Chains A and B, each alone.
Chain A
Amino acid sequence: MSSPSPALASFKAAADQLAINDAAPDWLNATRVNGWQRFAEMGVPGVRDERWKYTRLAALERQSFVLPNHGGALSKAVHAEEFSALPGLRMVFVDGCLDERSSRLAGKAGLRVRSLDNAIADNDAVVSELLGKIAQGPLHPFAALNTALLANGAVIDVEPHATIEEPVYLLFISSCAQVSLISNPRILLNIGANASVTVVEHHLAHDGAKNFVNVTTEGRIGEGARLEYCSVLDGVALDSHINGLHLEQAGDSHVIHNSVTLGGRMIRNDLHCRLLGPGSHIDMRGLYLAGDRQHVDNHTLVEHCAPHTSSAQDYKGVLHGRGRAVFNGKVLIHSGANGSEAHQSNGNLLLSEKAEIDTKPELEIYNDDVKCSHGATVGQLDKEALFYLRSRGIGEATARSMLTFAFAEALVQRIGLSDVRNRIEQRVIELLPESERIRSFV
C-alpha cells in the first residue's frame, strides 16, 4: 500500500490532535472518530470516481494542513468586503474561528443563532437531531472529513411559525498566509414548520491565504416553511474550497437556493436536496465565473421522494481566459413521487477559446407520472443582440461587455436581498473581462 498523501497524513494528524487536546464530551469524540473512519474508507476521491472525474484534487493532496489555532488572537479581521449593510444577526469566522467582537448574536423572537461549540456544550437538541443525520452516505467523503474534524460552526434554529424578516449572515474569512489551514465549518439549520428565514453564507479570502475550507451544512426544513439560502463564494483569492449543502424538506416547504461562485482556484459545490414531503419545492439558481487558473465545479442532486414535489435548477456560467467549470445536475425521481415536476437548465458563455466547461445533466426516473425537462447550452454571445446594440452606436467591446454582464445579471437580479444583489452585481462587473466599460450604465 502506498503511503498516504501529505494532505491525508495532515488530516489524520489533525483528527488525532482533536481527540487528545479537546475537552469534548465523549459522544462528540465518538462522532469524530466515526467520521474519520468513514472518510478513511472513502479516501480522497480520484479521477476514477465519476463524481470527481473533472475536478482533480492532486494539488490539494500534495499540500499539508494544520487546524486553526483555537482561541488564538484573530489578527486580521478586515471586513471591507463584507455585506456590511445587512441587518440582523451575524457570525463572523476568521480562519475557521468565531470572531465574537465582529459577530452580532443578540436574541430575536423566534430565532436562535449560536456557535456550534456553545450548542454542543449546552447539549442543544438541534445538534443531536441534525448533526450527521442529513449529510451522510457514500457520496460525500468531505462531509465525513468535516465530521472527523468537527470544532466550529453555526447553529440556526427558527421556531415554528416564526417569520424572521432580517437575514442571518454567516461570514467566513480566510486570512492566514503563513501556514495552510484546514477549516471545517459545520452549519446546522433547523427551520420549524411554517417558519420563514433568509440565510447568507459568505466566503472571502485575503490575498495569499492558502486555506482549505471544507464546509458542511445540514438543514431540515419543516412543513410549510420557507428558506432562502444564499451561498456566496467571493473571489479569486479563494484557494481550495469544498462546500456541501445537504437539505431535507418536509411537505409544502419551499427553498430558494442562490449559489454564486465568483472564481477561486479549486471550488467544489455540492448540493444534495431530498424532497421528503408532498408539495415540497426547491428553486436552485447558480452563477459561476471562472478565469485563468480557476476551477469551479457544481454538483447538484435532487431526490424527489414524495408525490407532487417539484424542483427547478437554473445554473449559468461565464468562463474566460483558461477558466474551467463543471456542472453536473442530477434529478432522481423515486417510484412513489407521482405528479412530480423537475426542470433543469445549464447555460454557459465561453468568452475565450481556452475556456472549458464539462456539463452533464442527468435524469433518473422511476415513475411514469412526472414532468421533467433538462438542457445544457454552451455558446458565445448572441450575434443578433450584438448587432442590435452596435446599430444603436454602442461600440463592439462595450456591447460584448453589456451582453456578458446581462447573461449573469439574469440570475443575480433574482436574489431577494438587495444588499447582496447589489454587491454581487458590482463584483461581477469587477471580475468580468473589460467590464469597466459598462460600469457607468449599471
Chain B
Amino acid sequence: MSNKILEIKGLKAEVDGKAILKGLDLAVEAGEVHAIMGPNGSGKSTLTHVLAGREGYVVSGGKVLYKGADLLELETEERAREGVFLAFQYPVEIPGVNNVYLLKAALNAQRKHRGEAELDAIEFLSLVRDKMKLMQMDESFLNRAVNEGFSGGEKKRNEILQMSVLQPTLALLDETDSGLDIDALKIVANGINSLRREDRAIVLVTHYQRLLDYIEPDFVHVLSNGRIVKSGDKSLANELEARGYDWLAEEAVSA
C-alpha cells in the first residue's frame, strides 16, 4: 500500500493570467519532512496557496492527489477538514474574533466532518491549554482577537498552536521562519519538531536555510521558475546557503 500523502504531477497554475507554476512534480510520503527552497518569485507561496485552495489562482494543468484522491476538487474548508493545514506567511488579523472561538470552531468543524462528537468548552480548554504550554503562550492569548496586535513571533507561534490543535495529516508551512528572532525561531521549530509523526507529512517552504538548522528535513527541493529543478537531502540546503541560487538557474538553462 502506498504511503503517499501528497502527489503533485505536472502542476501548472497562473495568477491574473501570468503563469507561475510551470509543471511542478512532487511526492511526499507519510512521516517525511520536505523543504522547498527557492528565490523570491519562484512560485513557493503560489504552491502552498493552490494546495490550500485560495481564490484567484487558476490551475491550468496537472493534478494534485491527496491521500490518493483529487485535492483540487475540494473547497478550502473541505481540504482543511480532511487534514490539510496551511501555516500562513502573513497570518491575518481578525479584530472581534477571539482566538478561542476560532480554534474551537475549527476543531469542531473537523471533528464533525469525521463523525466524532464535538468537544464542549471544558474538554476543549483542557486540550488547548496543553498545546499552549508547548508554544510557550500565555493563556491570555485565548481571549485576544485573532492575531490582532500580535508581534511577528506571536503570530507564527499562533499558527503552530493552531496546527497542534488541528493535528493535520499534511502541514504546509509557508515561510514560517520569516520575521522571527532567534528565540522565537527556536520555539516555533521546537513546536514543529514535536508535531513530526509517522502518519503526518510536513512541507516547509522557506527562502533561507536557517530554519533547517532546527528542523532537519528528509528531502530538500529547489523551486525555480515554477519547477522543481533539483532535489536532494539535507546537504543540498547547505550547498544553497554557500552558493546561493544562481548556479541552479544556469544549470537548468544548460541542461
Residues of A in contact with B (beta carbons under 8 Å apart): 382-385, 387-396, 398-399, 402-403, 405-410, 413, 438, 441-442
User: Are A393's CB and B166's CB within 8 A?
Assistant: yes
* Nearest 10 interchain pairs by C-beta: A406-B96, A393-B80, A392-B106, A409-B96, A388-B92, A441-B101, A390-B76, A393-B109, A410-B96, A390-B77
> Can you pick out 18 interface pairs between chain A and chain B where the beta carbons lie within 8 Å of each other?
A387-B54, A387-B55, A387-B92, A389-B102, A391-B52, A391-B80, A392-B80, A393-B106, A393-B166, A398-B105, A402-B97, A402-B101, A402-B102, A403-B94, A405-B96, A410-B95, A410-B96, A441-B104
**Closest chain A residue to B109 by CB distance?**
A393
**Closest chain A residue to B108 by CB distance?**
A440
Q: Which B residues lie within 8 Å of A405 (CB)?
A: 96
Q: Which A residues lie within 8 Å of B94 (CB)?
A: 382, 385, 388-389, 403, 406
A391-B77, A393-B109 are known contacts; what are 17 more A-B pairs with Cβ within 8 Å?
A382-B92, A384-B92, A385-B92, A388-B88, A388-B146, A391-B53, A392-B106, A392-B166, A393-B77, A395-B109, A396-B75, A398-B109, A402-B101, A402-B105, A403-B97, A407-B96, A410-B96
- Distance, CA A390 to CA B75, complexed state (A): 9
Residue in A394, A406, A438 whose Cβ sees the most chain B Cβ within 10 Å = A394
B162, CB-defined interface residue at 8 Å:
yes
**Closest chain B residue to A407 by CB distance?**
B96
Q: Which B residues lie within 8 Å of A438 (CB)?
A: 105
B91, CB-defined interface residue at 8 Å:
yes
Q: Which A residues lie within 8 Å of B53 (CB)?
A: 390-391
- Distance, CA A387 to CA B79, complexed state (A): 12
Interface size class of B (residues with CB under 8 A): 20 to 34
B224, CB-defined interface residue at 8 Å:
no
The residues in B between 79 and 115 inclusive whose CB is less than 8 angstroms from any CB of A are 79-81, 85-86, 88, 91-92, 94-97, 101-102, 104-106, 109-110, 113
Q: How distant is A228 from chain B, measured CB to nearest CB, in Å? A: 21
Q: Which A residues lie within 8 Å of B55 (CB)?
A: 383, 387
Q: List the count of A-B residue pairs having beta carbons below 8 Å apart.
A: 86
Q: How distant is B153 from chain A, measured CB to nearest CB, in Å? A: 19
- Distance, CA A385 to CA B88, complexed state (A): 12
Q: Which A residues lie within 8 Å of B106 (CB)?
A: 392-394
**Closest chain A residue to B91 by CB distance?**
A388
- Distance, CA A409 to CA B52, complexed state (A): 29
User: Are B110's CB and A393's CB within 8 A?
Assistant: yes
- Distance, CA A442 to CA B101, complexed state (A): 7
Q: Which B residues lie within 8 Å of A387 (CB)?
A: 54-55, 76, 92
Q: Which A residues lie within 8 Å of B166 (CB)?
A: 392-393
Q: How distant is B113 from chain A, measured CB to nearest CB, in Å? A: 7
- Distance, CA A389 to CA B146, complexed state (A): 10
User: Are A441's CB and B76's CB within 8 A?
Assistant: no
* Chain B 156-185 interface 0/1 with A at a Cβ cutoff of 8 Å (1 = within): 000000100010000000000000000000
Q: From B77, B85, B105, give the contact of A396 (CB < 8 A).
A: B77
Q: How distant is B144 from chain A, measured CB to nearest CB, in Å? A: 11
Q: How distant is A351 from chain B, measured CB to nearest CB, in Å? A: 15
Q: From B77, B88, B95, give the contact of A395 (CB < 8 A).
A: B77
Residue in A384, A392, A393, A402 whose Cβ sees the most chain B Cβ within 10 Å = A393
- Distance, CA A361 to CA B113, complexed state (A): 47
**Closest chain A residue to B84 by CB distance?**
A391
Q: How distant is A248 from chain B, measured CB to nearest CB, in Å? A: 34
Q: Which B residues lie within 8 Å of A388 (CB)?
A: 88, 91-92, 94, 146
Q: Which A residues lie within 8 Å of B77 (CB)?
A: 390-396, 399
